[in-house]
Structure 1
């Protein structure tokens, strides 16, 4: 009996050891497998795709697995457009669309899901899925496609509607909903489906109120001047067949129907129309009245009602470009002392018909001194007696001054006079300062700003001196002494750029702009004899844009649908450009060599396309498994238990 128990004990020990070894091997073995990257597969639909004489207002589409419909109100496009949004939902393995509008007779309906249908677990999208049916005995199958770009900066216009009209009247776009529609994806691409043979006008519309017509001048739009005639032709393409998500099986030739045109390009813009109205008025300082308008406008007319001024020029005006912000600096002492000032103002206000009408308002400006205790008042009076307050001056001078920049001065308050004889600009050579000539010009909008100009010598050393009490403000403040020494940068700290241009329209002016990494222009030069020469550029990476100045105002001008005017053309140099110090750069640029949608560098494109990395996750997993090698133990040779936690299988989100 004892011998038997010993044998059983040995057998139990051996069995336990084998179990542990087997367990270790199983735990180290990769068990996750490849991710499921297969999108849902269509099983059936009611009505069937391309069905005729359909009368039911519910569409049911069944797939081989449970699905979700992502962002149906954004991604699912139904044409003809629906006044009342249909109910679009997922029920298990089915996508269900229930129309709330009555189906139109003899009409082709297209439900374009784009990539809204995804499987319930991993979120794999079914790309470019659409279903069509007709309420009559004929199905319209033609389609047109293309891209929409922002006219000003060639950004892909995401989520903008593209619609078609067979009515060529100019008012159709304004008064009538689109007949057929689509919507752009992240790359600005669109396809309008279900078109009948015929002639169409095509438009893009950032539809704010979803009525599918241009009834708000603040909506971004695009239109083609030419007529679109859809057609089709047989074509051939090469398709790649995969054994799995990683392995190519074969490349096959596929015959298909190509729908034309498939390269339409629409340039979207917002008109320069802006609703004009008074936003607010305020008096946050005793000496200054501020009026804010919602948009650039004509300069309003003011009349002081209370108190009555002693002089007609009772204020000095400071204004922004476009007059949307106005500051009235009060110079009449009687008016200045009043806590409440009443003005009558005549200005432009946009009415409900989008017409500008003269509006007359009475504005009241009140200023109350902040409440102070007796002690605070005494301390303030004592401080004012001891301290002398000077007129503050800001300037743009730096120790290393840009060779192309004038000296800019901005005073705290408008000044009575800027006498250049009270300002000295000296050039320092071998420690000897010599006065040099300069010009002073006042800003046309801001009475507090002045520019001091001189043709700087590269590497030259200068000093600017303004004597104390030399400049007097309208409120009696005098400036303190200003002394500033600066050195202008040398030419070897800059690069120069000559651009030889081709592809430009003849006889039209053009401007080249240098852009920073945020796509903002910082230098501009006019094209002369098909060349743009820019001197004194700071070293670094920049980008280049060109616009055709049709109206010769020196600025890019947007379009206007009522006038039938397209926005001015814009082109981008298709790569970053690096400027090196002390180098003359020369570049040739054919602005039309690349299509517009291929020009803007991705580095400065803000609306970057959504990229899907379908196979990358499986590639990463396959690489991890290959790195483990053939050994069943992840610990390799040597010490350690060789036991690792297996990677759990997990769902892959939609990327």
Structure 2
């Protein structure tokens, strides 16, 4: 019995020893297995040079450029794993189809499923843009196209050209990345602004576009800043460029130039109506109103007492009232003496307003000898009492300053003075110095400032040639980037402009041919086929030099 127990004990000890040895190597086996499992998945390589090459196309099924096309699926096979990016924007088919294509990735292949709505005897072009990339590094296959015809022949005509911003007359891809060119057969011209364009083309980095594989037909062509990526011109914030005439395409056409500007909406809408904090009734429209007018038809006695203001673009109106003791207003908006809309506004019960006039100055803590001080307000100004305007020079009150109402903008006032360097100034507008149309007034207002003596001032006298004697022109003094406007005025009949005592700096010029003589640049109207007002830019900068008087003649030639 004792011998049997010893044998059993020895056997158990050997079993334990064997198990210990096997458990010791189990973690090693587990790590090896996991590493093989990882190898079975797509992983970004570690080490070595970075992959900068796009996927390489190995095969197309059916073959590209096919005719009498009947297939329902196109398969593109590549040399590596692929994925899509921004597919909705980048992947396109022209002409457009009523039902969308379906794109599926299967490892190294792209499967394109076609709808049943393809038209007979039509050449289609599928463009992948920058939307197909390799799986690991995202390198795009640029502008790959697959072309097929549902009839016996491939259409082969083309239209190419260039687009530019109609205001700056340049193309900046960073700012205008949403711009595309669109093409619509005149037989479908009624779909413009309602349905997707039949054909559309991407714009390259320099503003060029090209439509390929087009059939002989008559087309209208547009440049569209397609902000919401629906291939439809929606007005509002979208920009549009167009040719006045259609294009008859029976041979390749090139050198089409399209300038896009902010468009207008075809149909009028009242976007907003509310009483603002200052007690004015704000009305916002979705487009400019030509020769606008607003009449209060109920309560009728409010009409003669209202003060009406439109903004420069004529797409916003404000009405000011002596009292707000009405429950509702009924207004009649007219355009070119025709009733455009009847607007009903209902006043909120707990409405609180503050009709205090808040002064606005064109300076912060520095004044210059060119513009001096300009006083304005977002609320209408009827008058400013000079007796309640105090100018202090090093704490000493001065009365020999000028307070003048602007000759054009009657709600803008100028304070001019012989400002001195290294001197402290204070401007005080006492309470009720500024009065509004219904005796509204300001609270006391103070500001401290000094002369901007860092600026050196000079004069330049410009004479312009090449301008039409019967046309009206506006001139803007701008910076080199065409973004900042330092001065804007009408070019007189003498065609001479003098910039006197201007800060020494580099400037350029923009001239507007003001066709309708409304004092501003007007963009195009695609629905009326009216192009934007023409612009001319000086193709260089000029320098106003300190303490110099310069004279220059500039020849202007509009394109």
The answer to whether the superposition gives a TM-score over 0.5 is yes
Residue 55 of structure 1: how far off its partner (Å) = 0.7
SS at match of 1:366: coil
In the superposition, relative to structure 1, how do residues 395 and 565 fare at CA in structure 2: closer, same or farther (>3 Å)? closer
| Partner of residue 120 from structure 1, selected from 132, 135, 140 | 135
In the superposition, relative to structure 1, how do residues 88 and 450 fare at CA in structure 2: closer, same or farther (>3 Å)? same
Q: Deviations over 1:578-608 (max 9, x none)?
A: 6554456778878779xx9xxxxxxxxxxxx
1:173-572 to 2 correspondence within 5 Å? 173=192, 178-185=197-204, 187-197=206-216, 199-206=218-225, 219-226=238-245, 228=247, 260-273=252-265, 275-277=268-270, 279-282=272-275, 284=277, 288-295=279-286, 298-302=292-296, 305=299, 320-321=311-312, 322=314, 324-330=316-322, 341-348=326-333, 357-367=340-350, 395-396=361-362, 401-405=367-371, 407-410=373-376, 418=384, 422=387, 435=400, 439-440=404-405, 449-452=411-414, 474=438, 493-496=456-459, 508-516=471-479, 519-526=483-490, 533-540=498-505, 544-572=509-537
Partners in 1 of 2:327 and 2:167 — Cα distance?
43
In the superposition, relative to structure 1, how do residues 277 and 89 fare at CA in structure 2: closer, same or farther (>3 Å)? same
* Equivalent pairs, count: 494
In the superposition, relative to structure 1, how do residues 45 and 219 fare at CA in structure 2: closer, same or farther (>3 Å)? same
| Partner of residue 109 from structure 1, selected from 112, 124, 127 | 124
Residue 536 of structure 1: how far off its partner (Å) = 3.9
Equivalent residues of 1:315, 1:329 under 8 A apart: yes
| Partner of residue 84 from structure 2, selected from 66, 69, 76 | 69
Equivalent residues of 1:513, 1:524 under 8 A apart: yes
Q: Deviations over 1:315-351 (max 9, x none)?
A: 66666543724253435xxx6xx6xx3132214499x
TM-score by length of 1: 0.61
Equivalent residues of 1:45, 1:59 under 8 A apart: yes
Residue 525 of structure 1: how far off its partner (Å) = 4.2
SS at match of 2:340: strand
In the superposition, relative to structure 1, how do residues 495 and 84 fare at CA in structure 2: closer, same or farther (>3 Å)? farther
In the superposition, relative to structure 1, how do residues 499 and 226 fare at CA in structure 2: closer, same or farther (>3 Å)? farther
Residue 465 of structure 1: how far off its partner (Å) = 8.1
Higher relative contact order, structure no. (Cα contacts within 8 Å, ≥ 6 residues apart): 1
Residue 518 of structure 1: how far off its partner (Å) = 7.9
Uncovered stretches (5+) of structure 1, i.e. residues with no partner: 1-30, 233-259, 371-389, 597-655
Partners in 1 of 2:432 and 2:75 — Cα distance?
85
In the superposition, relative to structure 1, how do residues 329 and 301 fare at CA in structure 2: closer, same or farther (>3 Å)? same
Q: Deviations over 1:219-238 (max 9, x none)?
A: 53221235546688xxxxxx
Q: Deviations over 1:194-232 (max 9, x none)?
A: 113455432234567877665767753221235546688
Equivalent residues of 2:235, 2:264 under 8 A apart: no
Q: Deviations over 1:426-450 (max 9, x none)?
A: 999xx997847764359868xxx44
Residue 89 of structure 1: how far off its partner (Å) = 3.4
Q: Deviations over 1:530-578 (max 9, x none)?
A: 7765444434555544433333333111112232211123344556766
Uncovered stretches (5+) of structure 2, i.e. residues with no partner: 1-45
SS at match of 2:259: strand
Equivalent residues of 1:275, 1:349 under 8 A apart: no
The corresponding residue for 2:31 is none
Equivalent residues of 1:178, 1:212 under 8 A apart: yes
Equivalent residues of 2:54, 2:140 under 8 A apart: yes
SS at match of 1:81: coil
Partners in 2 of 1:50 and 1:158 — Cα distance?
30
Partners in 1 of 2:308 and 2:497 — Cα distance?
38
The corresponding residue for 1:623 is none
Equivalent residues of 2:474, 2:511 under 8 A apart: yes
TM-score by length of 2: 0.70
Partners in 2 of 1:261 and 1:282 — Cα distance?
55
Equivalent residues of 2:390, 2:398 under 8 A apart: no
Residue 150 of structure 1: how far off its partner (Å) = 2.5
Partners in 2 of 1:215 and 1:413 — Cα distance?
34
Matched, 1:140 2:167: no
In the superposition, relative to structure 1, how do residues 538 and 82 fare at CA in structure 2: closer, same or farther (>3 Å)? farther
SS at match of 1:345: strand
In the superposition, relative to structure 1, how do residues 119 and 575 fare at CA in structure 2: closer, same or farther (>3 Å)? farther
Residue 134 of structure 1: how far off its partner (Å) = 1.2
